Amino acid sequence: MHLSFDYMKAQLDCNEDRHAQKVMRDLGITYQHSTPQSLGDQFWFWNCENVPKQLPKYITVLDLDPMECIGNGLNKEWAEKIRDYKGVTPLNPTPKDVATTKKIRKKGKR
């Protein structure tokens, strides 16, 4: 899930003046990448997890394809990473996580 934080709504409608990343952290929301959008007074948060059911009205679902946002805060590399993101949980480790775990186990057997 991608989310958009609207600074104008936050400040004018809700008197919220904290930085968007601070608000997300305080709500317990984690994300893969964030992109400031100065023209729209927004921050876009890509591949969010731990999203509460009830969000403040200045945080909305962002229905955008990251590949269509290349040049608007994303380069091709980041757009592909966002598109291909599968989440990282103990049940879905990355290849790097698996390699690190194997190294740690080898050291423990010495």
64-84 confidence digits (pLDDT tens): 999 999 999 999 999 999 999
pLDDT of residue 98: 57
**What is the CB-side half-sphere exposure of residue 43 using CA atoms within 13 A?**
17
Residue 93 clears pLDDT 80, i.e. is over it: no
Count of domains in the chain? 1
Whole-structure pTM value: 0.76
Which carries the bigger pLDDT value, residue 105 or residue 37? Answer: 37
CA–CA dist 80, 30 (Å, integer)? 19
Residue 109 clears pLDDT 60, i.e. is over it: no
Rounded to whole angstroms, what are the CA distances from 54 to 51, 60, 90, 107? 8, 10, 26, 45
CA–CA dist 37, 43 (Å, integer)? 6
Average pLDDT over residues 19-37: 95
Residue 17 clears pLDDT 60, i.e. is over it: yes
Range of the domain at 30: 3-109
Average pLDDT over residues 23-42: 94
Quick one: how far is CA 49 from the chain centroid? 7
Residue 36 clears pLDDT 50, i.e. is over it: yes
pLDDT of residue 19: 96
